[in-house]
Chain A
Amino acid sequence: MGMETNWAAEQLQTIRTLMERSAVYRRALAPIMLFAGTVGVLAAATGFLCHFDSPDAFGCMWVVAAMFAFSGVVLISRRQAFKAKEPFWSPPADRVVQAMLPSWLAGLIAVSVFRFLAVNDPQLFWWLPPIWMVLYGLALYGAGFFMPRGIRLLGWCFLLSGLAALVILAIKSMSGPLPPLIYAHYLMGFFFGVLHLAYGAYLYLTEKGKNAA
């Protein structure tokens, strides 16, 4: 009898593990990516046109842009969940947020740290965009284990581009002063704007009509 109980308990545990592994976050990502990309491009254009070239203005604007993008993503996901008559805060959503949270927090802390470091040398703020790219890449890569496979690839794109940007910055800074901070908006706009838009457009074209929950 004891063996039977153990067997049944093990069987239930196996079922639970398999069910958890299967529960992948499947909200339609195309609108989410397109929204995040649009915010990225608009933020970069605003930063460039309004000459946000001081560390304070640069940091504040991009933190606000990130928060705005995050709020929009939450609203889009919530609307999708509502339409599909499913809970918004599902176990896969919980896992995705947990996977991304450490990198998001590290990104926020990085702004604060660089804010103090850049008091005497505003050029130091140039290091922030590549660091954000690396952290965001890690966040996407981690979340990619609970999402469709393409997300991990996007994570790698951010991670490798961020690392490449760090190397280029290091080489540049050794050979002379870095360009004015206002050009960092280009870097941000390209990666957090255009790359999201490109991925969103790819998803939209390839997964059209497949709004699985």
Chain B
Amino acid sequence: MSNAKAPQPATQQPASNQAPTPARRSWLYRAWDSDVAYSFRTSPMAIIAGFTALVIITMAALAPWIAPFNPYDPSSLNLMDGFTPPMEPNAFTGNTYWLGTDNQGRDVYSTILYGARISLFVGFMAVLFAMVLGITAGLIAGYRGGWVDSFLMRVADVQLSFPSILIALLIFGVARGFIPPAYRETMAIWVLIVAIGLSDWVQYARVVRGATMVEKNKEYVQAARVIGAHPVKILVRHILPNVMGPVLVIATIGLALAIIAEATLSFLGVGVPPTQPSLGTLIRIGQQYLFSGEWWILLFPAVTLLALALAVNLLGDWLRDALNPRLR
């Protein structure tokens, strides 16, 4: 693994988005001056992707404050406003909406903002869950070795032979079966997060295990062991920071995959409940009105999902190249 040196700049990379001034020679300046930040500044693809992702994530996070309407407040809806085409006044009420309205008269622009919020929430939480699970398993397997290692890696092998969307779907279905009907709706988002997270932990575990096996034989770990540090402390304080580089790359690409997985499950009608529509749910609704010519209900959520997934994917690709000097 050539990534032993790389994680240092990697952990500071997000700061480069905030356009720091070189006046203060603080960590901000060091971040701006690092290899990864330089690679970001000189890659137009990374800048465009980063900008797109940042815009969508910010707008989604601020949805309740910047959306013109609250699409899930029934009192603000008017059925007469339904099926308004984008940028055209409605035939009955004369109201104009940027991206039109859907069947129930909800502003498509607002539903997209709220939908992206849910998609991103599920995506981030699922990645976080997979990361914690995978890193823990990987650290233990790599550091301990022996039967723990063989067991975890055998489980990982078996899981890896199934596609992750299928695993997520099966876990979701099984978990739904075990939850009492009264809680199915309210628990759906968390079940979804756990299902997507569980379907994706293997990647982290494998990479962290590999890196840990390399790191644990280095002098600094031996030194820590000699002064009597607790194994948990060695793993968390000493080994973990040095294996984070590749983990960040997997997490970025994993975020794109998690967003797509969530959208797919919601599109299939087995994801988030209809009261909390994500981008996938919106596309599902849009597909129903495709034949009657209301294309905007489908197109705008689809474009948002595509832009988000593509931007995060490209960021992941760039990060992998930037953190791995061997590929250049």
Q: Do A and B come from one complex?
A: no
Q: Which residues of B pack against A, CB within 8 Å?
A: none
Q: Which residues of A pack against B, CB within 8 Å?
A: none
